[in-house]
Structure 1
């Protein structure tokens, strides 16, 4: 029997950022998040321990560039999407990391209160 599908909650402006992706990257992000909802790993991901425990980054390569979706699944039955952005350089930019880290800390604080 398939695992029950998890809910997805976008934190801050993450949904608006995802909607700004080109259509092909947006579709791929949706497909990858659907896989996560069904209990599977995305096709291309890496852990983002610098942001927080259990945080992962979906990596999307598209003709329009490189796109990232940072999320965490370790809390209850919800996938929390912390940040979505287009990568402009080889390393993830400090503002993108700081924003995802702040949203992670805020989420942990909110869930523990």
Structure 2
């Protein structure tokens, strides 16, 4: 798979003002965005955002973005955030969900670490139902289809 790469340095206010050396990879299909970050000598796993997952995250309240962003960063470092739990209905602990309540609303971020040496952000959304804790079926279906896309991408990157 061909990628268009841009190299940049950015200040990371949310990471205690550390400077990060980042590599941004945009794939021509426009559906997967990857950010590879190196902090000092610590290389972290690349983070791939599938479809509108990053846009959806950025539409959430800033406090929720901070929690989900930190959870994804922990996954990139090979760690598990304290709020990350395996998503029910998916085998094993490879698909994780972080739930955050904010101002009476519930937000969820779903990601996977099961393909290669990368983290895939599959879906970020606000839970709509107030009467049931279960994730809505249309969200589960979306997560499953994005998980398949992540698997295909992971297979393709092994061949690069």
Which band: TM-score by shorter chain? 0.7 to 0.9
- How much does 1:64 deviate? 4.8
SS in 1 for 2:68: helix
- How much does 1:78 deviate? 1.2
- How much does 1:30 deviate? 1.0
User: Please, which moves more after superposition, 91-100 or 51-60?
Assistant: 51-60
Distance 1:69 1:56, change over 3 A: same
- How much does 1:14 deviate? 0.5
The list of structure 1 runs, each at least 4 consecutive aligned residues, that deviate by more than 4 angstroms after superposition, is none
2:56 aligned with 1:17: yes
CA RMSD of aligned residues (A): 2.0
Structure 1 residue ranges without an equivalent (≥5):
none
2:116–2:154 CA contact under 8 A, matched in 1: no
Identify which of 67, 71, 78 aligns with 2:118.
78
- Choose between structure 1 and 2: higher helix proportion: 1
- Structure 1 length normalisation: TM-score? 0.85
Q: Distance in 1 between matches of 2:149 and 2:72?
A: 22
Q: Distance in 2 between matches of 1:74 and 1:8?
A: 13
1:59–1:69 CA contact under 8 A, matched in 2: yes
2:97–2:108 CA contact under 8 A, matched in 1: yes
Q: Distance in 2 between matches of 1:75 and 1:4?
A: 18
Q: Distance in 2 between matches of 1:75 and 1:3?
A: 21
Match of 2:4 in 1: none
Aligned residues: 112
- Structure 2 length normalisation: TM-score? 0.62
Structure 2 residue ranges without an equivalent (≥5):
1-40
Identify which of 88, 92, 95 aligns with 1:55.
95
Match of 1:27 in 2: 66
- Choose between structure 1 and 2: higher strand proportion: 2
